[in-house]
Structures are given as structure tokens and as C-alpha cells.
């Protein structure tokens, strides 16, 4: 169990109060909206733009985090409204992808855990079945996307999928069906051997031969270049492997998370403000606050699974990230949407840099609630 001193807890309490206050002001502006990023001070509505978009569960997840701590019905009602809107994605099955865990574990999955809603349980089980169906039996990996501009993606697997495996572990326990967990472990094993480099850095996209599972190529994806270290991908690896360890007790996954964590910490400890890619040119400076928020959650989880003395350095690294990002990146203006600024969608697209992103807010809030002792099992 994590422990924090009085000053650390007071700080976390003060930040949560700010989050709650801002979200209370934001909520009336977001009726019928599933947010993604902020445009001109207001959240973009993905219900109208792309109901299948990979981030569409983070808003509901954020609202459930707030509801679980405050008990405010407005958060619950808005989260359930978003969950219902997401049913439109089920009707667009060909456009679904490996991120269905993000969509429905954080919306329907948390609804079921917190309220016992039987319809939410079914939604989450449907999503788990969709994810399991993407597993390539010959190659031993979960396919990321159905399409990509001008590319055959049948052999593509990405490090982000590690975070989606938890819906498979959950479904396996919920149904008493070992197949879901076996697929999750097989994909985690494949990612361990092909995505994570010996130095602890992570590749974003690995291209396999769909018939044999042989690694054919690496792609830069949302990072700077092949061979670089996209920071959000690094955070997915850090957090994703520790989640798989939590569900399996497989030591290799814990060791992989520590390797990824050590690389992340070494790459940010100069000022604790994560760059979008840890192996990109020094100029221009491109931050990605979402990577720091995800990593902070993973580091706190990692610290809980290690002996106190060993876990302390990971806990302190998480605190450094959260404090510095709050000081430099947080926006507490109640008249504008979004909390954590300087998130970057893609290193190579300038218009995707320095953004307010809904998943940045979700993971930042999750990290704060973990500091405050939340026992809500999200993943």
C-alpha cells in the first residue's frame, strides 16, 4: 500500500478540489458531447465527428473517477449519457479497432463496477469479444487497425494495445472463460519480445508477417522516427506491463515495467516535463503532458507491487511528474475546457502539439485519486 506524508496528501487534496471545481463548471457545456481535444476553448464533440475514435471512453472514465470520490449524481448521469452515446460505435463495427478496451472498459466497465448496471456489463463483454477477435492465431498478436492510409495493416501491432488487455483479463474472470486471458498473455508475451528494446525504450509500431509472426519492420508511428522513443508509447509500456503483472503474477512483466520505467525516469529527470519523443532533436521543444500523466499512474502502481524501499524511487518519480506538470501545464480557468495543457497527439504534426486532450485529464485525475487512496480497480 502506498503511503504519503501530510504535505503530499494536502497537495493532492488541493489539486483534486481544483479538478472537481473546474469539472463542475465544464459539465453543463458538454451535454451530448464526448470530448477529445479543445478547439477555441471548448471540447470538440466526437459524437458528431467519429463515434469510433479511440479516446471516446476517457471522458466517461474521468466522470466515474469524480463520481467515485464525490458521489455527485451529475457526474454519474453524464457518464451514463456518454456510455449510451457510445452504442453508436457498436453499429460501426468495421471501424472498430484494438482500443475498444479504452472505449468500453472506462465507460461501461466502470459503470458496472460502481453501479452493477447489467446493460453495462453486456457492453463491456461485447467489447472484450471484439478485442479477442482481433487476435492473429498464426502471428500471436492483436491487430491494431483495420485500415491506415495507403497501407496493409494486417501485420501491424502497437504498444498502446498493452493498456487494452485488461478488459480481456476482466472478461476471463467475469465469465470463467480462460480464452480471454490466454489471448491477453500471448499478446503481452509478443510485445515483451518485440516492442521493448534491451535498453527499456519502446517501439510504437511493429509490423509482423501475418502468417508466421516474424517481425518484418518497425514504424515510427506518432514518434519522431524509427529507433526513437515516443514518450506516450513509453508510458503505455510502463503501465501496460505492470497491469499484466497484476493480473498474472508473471515476473517477466514486472521486470519489463521496471525497465520501461527506468528509461522514462532517466529521460525526464532534468525538469520532469516529458517531451513528446525522448530521442527527438532538442529544438523545437515538443512536450506531451499525457505521457507524464500516464507514466505517473504506472509508476504509482509499480510502487505498490514492490518492497517499500525499492518502490520509493518510483513513487517519488510520479510525484515529481505530477507536481511539475501541475505547476507548468494545468489550466484552472473555469470558463475554458480542459485541465492539462501541452499534450501532443503526434510529433510529426505541428497542429497536434500543445493540446488539451481528454486522456491527459483522465490519467492526471487518476494519479491524484491514487495518491488519495482510491481503491477503484480501473484496469
Is the distance from CB of 261 to CB of 197 less than 8 angstroms?
Answer: no
Q: Give first-to-last CA distance, the chain, whole Å.
A: 17
DSSP 186-197: HHHHHHHHHTB-
Our separate counts of H helices and E strands in the chain read 15, 7
Give which of 25, 103, 32, 53 is closest to 339, Cα–Cα: 25
Residues annotated as catalytic are 99, 160
**164 contacts 99 by C-beta, under 8 angstroms:** yes
Q: Please give the Cα distance from 51 to 47 (Å, whole number).
A: 5
Residue 54 burial by CB count (10 A; 0-12/13-18/19+): exposed, middle or buried? buried
Give the C-alpha separation, 19 to 331, whole Å.
10
Chain centroid to CA 98: how far?
A: 13
Is the peptide bond between 284 and the residue preceding it cis, with omega within 30 degrees of 0?
yes
Q: Which of 122, 240, 235 is nearest to 185 (CA)?
A: 240
Alpha-carbon Rg for the chain, nearest whole angstrom, is 19
Amino acid at each position: 500500500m502506498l503511503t504519503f506524508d501530510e504535505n503530499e496528501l494536502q497537495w493532492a487534496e488541493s489539486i483534486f478540489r481544483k479538478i472537481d471545481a473546474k469539472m463542475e463548471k465544464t459539465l453543463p457545456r458538454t451535454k451530448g458531447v464526448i470530448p477529445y481535444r479543445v478547439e477555441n476553448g471548448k471540447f470538440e464533440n466526437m459524437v458528431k465527428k467519429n463515434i469510433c475514435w479511440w479516446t471516446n471512453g476517457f471522458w466517461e472514465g474521468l466522470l466515474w473517477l469524480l463520481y467515485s470520490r464525490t458521489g455527485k449524481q451529475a457526474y454519474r448521469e453524464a457518464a451514463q449519457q456518454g456510455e449510451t452515446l457510445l452504442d453508436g460505435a457498436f453499429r460501426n463495427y468495421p471501424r472498430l479497432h484494438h482500443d475498444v478496451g479504452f472505449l468500453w472498459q472506462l465507460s461501461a466497465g466502470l459503470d458496472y463496477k460502481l453501479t452493477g448496471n447489467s446493460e453495462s456489463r453486456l457492453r463491456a463483454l461485447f467489447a472484450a469479444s471484439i478485442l479477442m477477435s482481433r487476435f492473429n492465431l498464426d502471428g500471436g498478436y492483436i491487430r491494431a487497425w483495420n485500415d491506415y492510409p495507403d497501407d496493409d495493416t494486417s501485420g501491424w501491432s502497437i504498444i498502446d494495445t498493452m493498456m487494452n488487455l485488461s478488459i480481456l483479463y476482466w472478461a476471463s474472470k467475469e465469465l470463467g472463460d480462460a480464452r480471454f486471458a490466454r489471448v491477453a498473455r500471448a499478446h503481452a508475451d509478443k510485445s515483451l519480445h518485440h516492442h521493448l528494446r534491451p535498453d527499456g525504450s519502446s517501439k510504437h509500431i511493429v509490423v509482423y508477417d501475418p502468417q508466421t509472426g516474424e517481425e518484418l519492420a518497425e514504424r515510427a508511428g506518432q514518434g519522431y522516427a524509427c529507433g526513437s522513443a515516443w514518450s506516450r508509447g513509453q508510458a503505455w509500456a510502463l503501465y501496460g506491463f505492470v497491469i499484466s503483472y497484476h493480473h498474472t503474477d508473471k515476473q517477466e512483466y514486472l521486470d519489463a515495467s521496471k525497465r520501461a520505467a527506468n528509461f522514462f525516469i532517466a529521460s525526464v529527470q532534468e525538469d520532469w516535463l516529458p517531451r513528446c519523443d525522448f530521442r527527438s532533436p532538442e529544438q523545437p521543444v515538443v512536450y506531451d503532458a499525457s505521457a507524464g500523466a500516464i507514466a505517473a499512474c504506472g509508476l504509482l502502481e509499480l510502487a505498490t507491487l514492490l518492497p517499500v524501499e525499492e518502490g520509493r524511487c518510483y513513487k517519488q518519480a510520479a510525484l515529481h511528474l505530477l507536481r511539475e506538470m501541475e505547476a507548468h501545464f494545468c489550466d484552472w480557468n473555469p470558463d475554458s475546457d480542459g485541465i492539462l495543457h501541452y499534450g501532443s497527439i503526434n510529433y510529426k504534426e505541428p497542429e497536434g502539439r500543445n493540446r488539451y486532450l481528454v486522456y491527459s485529464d483522465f490519467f492526471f485525475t487518476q494519479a491524484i485519486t491514487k495518491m488519495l487512496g482510491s481503491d477503484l480497480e480501473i484496469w
